[in-house]
Structure 1
Amino acid sequence: MIIAAGLSPAWQQILEVDSLQVGEVNRCQSAHWSASGKVINVGIAVRHLGISCESIFSAGGYTRELIEADLTQLQVPCRILDQQNPTRICTTVLDRSTGQTTELVENATAVSAEEVSAFADEYRKYVSSADIVVLTGSLPTGAPATLYHDLLADTDCPVILDARGPELETALIQSPFLVKPNLEELEQTLARSLPSTDQMIKGMQEINQRGATWVVISQGKDALWATSEQQVYRFTPAKAKVVNPIGCGDSLAAGIACGIHEGRSVPDAIRWGMASAADNLMQLLPARLSKTSVQTFFEQIEMEQLV
């Protein structure tokens, strides 16, 4: 079983416009709603890839009912804990004339110490049955920067950590199996700019030396890089039609987790994750993957070991 856990779920509104005009009235050609946010997207993607999964997060307000109903309809198992503050609503605007995506992201609402404690207790209740864990998402106000560190300390199976800054830094001492910040988040964590590929690789391997067995940096349609202390891989993504990029990073994490769960080598698990991200790119709603399509994309992804 795979566990996805985090404290930044969302109710997602997706609006399609013919041509976005800033400062003007824009009439939408379509509107769609779905449960989303990193922890939810990972759970949905894992479910669509055919692996047993449990998503653990907290939610509140009327959006909690919407999220729960959507996940029930998708048959995504989840443990939703009570939260006093309402779960955020995020809006994605898809401009069909330019292909550009505009995100209006509400920060996750604050959680209390009691709510954080209940989340951690629920995680510890289930983690002993997990084969792999995905800890994902920025921590909201009220959650200590050490939360992922503390959860990793109680986890015996491999952990994929999708975090940045203080949350990532404090967790590295617990040796997460794989971390996947983007380049900006890597620079934020290292507190320096990494303007060249060589500098980026050195920065990634610095994170390896500080505790992460593997570091993965994705760059959209450009090459994805993966490092361990001794190895460097470059992956060329498959080409996919862009419908909605929201959830691609979460589908990448979910696909890697599923690949490792299935016994693939780490490089092949990364390819499976990239294939999942490519399929997500073609979906209007995030993480609603097709395993058949993912397999097709998997076969198109090129991999080169440089070291």
Structure 2
Amino acid sequence: MVYAVYLNPTIDKTVYIDSLRVGGTNRVGKVLSQGGGKAVNLAVTLHQMDVPVTVCGFLYKGNSRLIRQSLIGISTSLWEFPGEARVNTKIFDQQSGVVTEINESGPALSADILKQFEATFLPQIQKDDMVVLTGSLPPGCPADYYAHLIEKLPCRVAVDADGETLAQAVEKAPFLIKPNRDELSMLTGLPLETEAELLSAGRDLLARGVSVCAISLGSRGALILDASHAYRALPLTLEADSTVGAGDSMMAGLCAGLLEGKDLGEALRLGSAAAAASLLQPGTGAGDMECIARLLPEIQIQQIQ
């Protein structure tokens, strides 16, 4: 079982504009609102792959309907509070293909609520499970909260976060992390312009206790490495509807592959196919298994080490 921790529930609002004019008037072509957030995107992709997954965390009554719609058919353990979840607005410039994100912080969580969450969540987890700690932390949640959970969990833990949250989590030696280039650069304090520099930064994290480091590079593909091997995935040429959520689908594919016992290269192939399938969907939608399976043979994996 995969458990996706969902502490900062989100409505993803994707706004499609022909060409974004900063400081000018923009006419909206289409708006798509979906229940979202990294944990939801990851869970939907895993569900498409027939991987058992449970989303654990919080909802807010004011706009929980969209999130529950996204999670139809998926196991959940969610506490619902008064109020409204944050709205993250994605402005998709269709001419350039660039997405501008405006992300809200979300309601605050108290220390007492977090303790109650742990008392319910932690006893569920078994040694053979995998827990994915993904997304930003809400106000009131300390930056080391993912690190705190890693210490308490008896299973493999995957982390997809950034900034101080990722830095603190790395100190507790999670099983898998998936930074993008910017997140890895921020973590290491280095510019990381070349593949050799990226691999060196990844190996430094392995030396600190991380078991697997996957590095997503957007239109340049992805890298993955552990103590023994390293692979690159070459990018596909696709006409993307939206890039938002592709990284979450990649994490889902990586987790699914590693849980199935695939080697690093094949896990990266599955993650890359899931990410590519997501690119073809509107908004933050995940590709279905038929689309992922169709793309799998097109993903070129090269062994580096």
Q: Is the 8 A contact 1:87 1:108 kept in 2?
A: yes
Query: 1:52 corresponds to which residue?
Result: 52
Equivalence for 1:36: 36
Q: For residue 64 of structure 1, what is the amino acid of its counterpart?
A: S
State how far apart, in whole Å, the 1-side matches of 2:195 and 2:293 are: 29
Pick from 185, 188, 191: which aligns with 2:189?
191
Unaligned 5+ segments in structure 2 are none
Residue type of the alignment partner of 2:27: R
Trace 1:117-266 onto structure 2 (pairs within 5 A). Answer: 117-128=115-126, 131-266=129-264
| Distance 1:35-1:129 versus aligned 2 partners, 3 A rule | farther
Shift of 1:305: 1.6
Secondary structure of 2:242's counterpart equals coil
Distance in 2 (alpha carbons) for counterparts of 1:94 and 1:145 = 30
Q: Which consecutive segments of 4 or more residues in structure 1 shift more than 6 A?
A: none
Q: 3-state SS of the aligned residue for 2:23?
A: coil
Residue number in structure 1 paired with 2:8 = 8
Tell me the C-alpha RMSD between the 2 structures.
Answer: 2.1
CA–CA distance in 1 between the matches of 2:153 and 2:294? Answer: 34
TM-score by length of 2: 0.92
Give the Å deviation of 1:5.
0.8
Tell me whether 28-37 or 195-204 shows the greater mean CA deviation: 195-204
Q: Which amino acid aligns with 1:170?
A: Q
What count of residue pairs does the alignment treat as equivalent?
A: 305
Contact residue 42 and residue 287 of structure 1 kept, 8 A? no
Deviations 1:216-238 (A, max 9, x none): 11111103111223322222123
Q: Give the distance between the partners of 2:127 and 2:65, measured in 1 at CA.
A: 27
Structure 1 residues 197 and 294: alpha-carbon distance in aligned structure 2, compared to 1, 3 A threshold: same
Q: TM-score, structure 1 length as denominator? A: 0.91
Cα pair 2:241 2:283 within 8 Å, conserved? no
Distance 1:185 1:56 in 2: 25
Q: Secondary structure at the match of 2:63?
A: helix
Partner secondary structure for residue 106 of structure 2: coil
How far does residue 84 in structure 1 lie from its aligned partner after superposition? Answer: 5.5
Offset at residue 57 of structure 1 (A): 2.0
Whole-angstrom CA distance in 2 between matches of 1:26 and 1:210:
47
Q: How many Å apart are 1:89 and its aligned residue?
A: 0.4
Q: Which moved more, 1:225-234 or 1:49-58?
A: 225-234
Task: Tell me the equivalent position of 2:298.
Answer: 300
Contact kept, 8 Å, 1:57 with 1:80, in 2: the verdict is yes
Q: State the alpha-carbon separation in 1 of the partners of residues 74 and 282 from structure 2.
A: 18
Deviation at 1:129, TM superposition (A): 7.6
Q: Is the 8 A contact 2:249 2:286 kept in 1?
A: no
Q: Check the 8 A contact 2:250/2:272 in 1, yes or no.
A: yes
CA–CA separation in structure 1 for the residues paired with 2:38 and 2:294: 25
Identity of aligned residues (%): 28
Gaps of 5+ in 1: none
CA distance in 2, matches of 1:270, 1:112: 38
